[in-house]
Structure 1
Amino acid sequence: MLISNVYRPMIFSCQGTQRLADVARQMVEHKVGALAVLDGERLAGIITERDLVTALATSADPASQTAAAYTSTKIRTAALDEDSRDVARRMLDAGIRHLPVDDQGRLVGMVSMRDLLALETWAL
């Protein structure tokens, strides 16, 4: 199945200048495990629950830290026309649980391992 049939076409995001507490609140509010980090409107990276845990474990004052300090900037994306199994394999190989989805270079949503697992479970 194509990613276009699986991904969530909502973009929950933050700016790199936002405090981690605000980022965590957004994740809770939207019930998501990752946010796209934007620099203006450009995708600058992704921040995940794992990144927030790292901040808690390594910073003397995580509340004063910004999203940019813990953003994963090695950006991998999925394309709408990619096969979901190929994307799942790539995510497993990289040890990541969320991928921004783009359409010809434009951010259009996010796909998570949960989305891909649901697809496999419901397809049985």
Structure 2
Amino acid sequence: MRIKELIRDGIISCKASEPVSCAVAKMYMNNVGSVLIIDDDGKPLGIFTERDLVRVVAENLGLDIPLSKVMSRKIITANTSESIVSAAMKMIENNIRHLPVIEEGRAVGMVSIRDIVRALMAEELAYP
């Protein structure tokens, strides 16, 4: 099974100049744990996760601070043709729970560790 099969509708994103409150609102509205930070061409610049939000709150930085100041800039990604097992290994090795999916340099989706586990379980149950 390939990562492409796990991508849901679109990508949830904010611009780097927008405040943390933008990411928090989108995470809440879409029931997700991360938001991709993109440029005007849709290319990923960073990611803002629940862990980043905890740091913002703990350091009392406020929700008006631009995402560019608090986003994680090191982005680990997968491509659409990558296997689910390969993506899972990246997530384990880098201790991350959200993996942006890239195609031709642009973000096309995001998969979570939950998506990966569900897919692997479904595969295992289908072929015991």
**Corresponding letter in the other structure for 2:122:** W
Aligned to 2:78: 78
Partners of 1:20 and 1:103 lie apart in 2 by 26
SS of corresponding position for 1:32: coil
Give the ranges of 4+ consecutive aligned residues of structure 1 lying more than 6 Å apart after TM superposition: none
Conserved 8 A contact 1:9-1:108: no
| Aligned-pair CA distance for 1:99 | 1.0
Shift of the alpha carbon at 1:104?
A: 2.0
Structure 2 distance, partners of 1:115, 1:70, is: 26
Partner residue in 2 for 1:16: 16
Q: Deviations over 1:70-108 (max 9, x none)?
A: 111112210111110011011111000111101121211
Corresponding residue number in structure 2 for 1:47: 48
TM-score by length of 1: 0.91
Q: How does 1:1-124 map to 2 (within 5 A)?
A: 1-41=1-41, 42-59=43-60, 61-123=61-123, 124=125
Alignment partners' CA distance in 2, 1:114 and 1:27 = 16
Cα distance in 2 between the residues matched to 1:25 and 1:95 = 25
- Tell me, what secondary structure is at the counterpart of 2:36? strand
| 1:69 positional shift | 1.4
Contact between 1:76 and 1:100, CA under 8 Å: does it hold in 2? Answer: yes
Question: Percent of aligned pairs with the same residue?
Answer: 35
Say if 1:7 and 1:115, in contact at 8 Å, map to a contact too.
no
Aligned-residue RMSD, C-alpha? 1.3
Gap regions ≥5 residues in structure 1: none
What TM-score do you get using the length of structure 2 for normalisation? 0.89
Superposed displacement of residue 9, structure 1: 4.2
Count of residues in Structure 1 that have an aligned counterpart in Structure 2? 123
1:1-51 per-position Cα deviation (integer Å, ceiling 9, x unaligned): 111112224111001121212211110001111111012223111111110
